[in-house]
Amino acid sequence: AAPGAAATVDDLPLRENLRGKSAYGAPQLTVPVQLNTNENPHPPTKALVDDVAEAVREAARELHRYPDRDAVALRTDLADYLTRQTGVPVTVDNVWAANGSNEILQQLLQAFAGPGRSAMGFVPSYSMHPIISDGTDTTWLPVLRGADFALDVDAAVAAITEQRPDVVFVTSPNNPTGHSIPIAALRLLLDAASGIVIVDEAYAEFSDAPSALTLIDEYPTKLVVSRTMSKAFAFAGGRLGYLAAAPAFVEALLLVRLPYHLSVVTQAAARAALRHADETLGSVHALAAERVRVSKALADTGFHVIPSDANFILFGEFADSAAAWQAYLDRGVLIRDVGIPGFLRTTVGLASENDAFIAASDEIATMYL
């Protein structure tokens, strides 16, 4: 046994609010069809791989020096990309970057939440929002979504007004349900909020809904839009998340970020990947078409399918979703049990992967629907 293995977590002087909690745990299994973490299934092109390799080789000459603490060149490239993708002109001063949008969210809670403060989310939603709240000792205030998991805007406004959270999380499109929030509804939440509103747009490129970026100028002290290169951008392994907000937010985050948090290698690789944005995002249309195809196949088989604006689909209703999840795995298809009784979530994959998923679904429907 490893030295010290006799001690358990319960034996440690862990902070009270972390006792008994579970770690983030999407299973990482090697199976033929992996549709469980909402990645882009298209591997990088040879041109992108070559460009990243060359950029990292160049950067390696400077490995004895710390990286640019403020990642100015990378943030400039991200601002250009956001301006092109959303049509909202943003500059380097509006953009901050970190190791995945999870780190962006953590830095935001470090600065704007923490002990004695609270964060609200509309559940079911992204499971890391409560986990990052726990990690920063922020009180988590869950509010249930309405029928078919759509955001009930009136109930959301009422909850914000009554509970006055320091941070409101709005995920659009929402993981795991796939709904986008219209700008008009977002305005109502922003008007009701006394603290900040983080719009988590991890899946924005998959949706035709306008980005919350259009509201930054109107709500400079409240609105933060979080984004990532992990999903549509096919860069999950590169770990690069970012946000857009009024420049004051970027200044605030400098107070909590660790110096040099983005390595020389990360910055160089992300900039190289950004140069290939157009070819990478070319796969987004194909994935949207596959989403329509898979949704229809599931509905035709008799499943209840939640309409999705993203690269994943929530579907049910299973008599026993845990057993159904295992039945998919037994057929070599790894999907996600997000903890909603009766429902499972599949990521839209390559056509051949989706075919395998649909074939498994046809069999599993006869067993568990």
Q: Which residues bind ligand PMP (CB under 6 A)?
A: 38, 100-102, 126, 171, 175, 200, 202, 228, 230, 236, 241
- Of 276 and 345, CB closest to ligand PMP: 345
Helix axes 264-274, 46-60, angle to 10 degrees: 150
Contact 225, 213 (CB under 8 A): yes
Nearest-angstrom CA–CA distance, 304 and 295:
9
Nearest Cα neighbor of 181 from 202, 160, 203, 212 is 212
CB of 167 to ligand PMP, least distance (A): 14
Strand segments (E) across the chain = 33-34, 95-98, 118-123, 139-144, 167-171, 196-200, 223-228, 241-245, 304-305, 312-316, 333-334, 344-347
- Of 85 and 301, CB closest to ligand PMP: 85
CB of 125 to ligand PMP, least distance (A): 7
Nearest-angstrom CA–CA distance, 356 and 335:
12
- Of 233 and 325, CB closest to ligand PMP: 233
CB of 283 to ligand PMP, least distance (A): 17
Residue nearest to ligand PMP (CB): 100
CB of 3 to ligand PMP, least distance (A): 33
- Of 331 and 336, CB closest to ligand PMP: 336
CB of 104 to ligand PMP, least distance (A): 7
CA atoms within 13 A on the CB side of 125: 32
The distance from CA 49 to its chain's CA centroid, rounded to whole angstroms, is 24
Reported as type and span, the H/E element at residue 283 is helix 277-301
Q: What is the DSSP string of 160-173?
A: HHHH--SEEEEESS
Which amino acid is present at 318? F
Burial class (CB in 10 A: 0-12, 13-18, 19+), 147: exposed
Place of tokens 């882009």: 40
- Of 169 and 368, CB closest to ligand PMP: 169
CB of 190 to ligand PMP, least distance (A): 19
CB of 119 to ligand PMP, least distance (A): 14
- Of 44 and 241, CB closest to ligand PMP: 241
- Of 138 and 171, CB closest to ligand PMP: 171
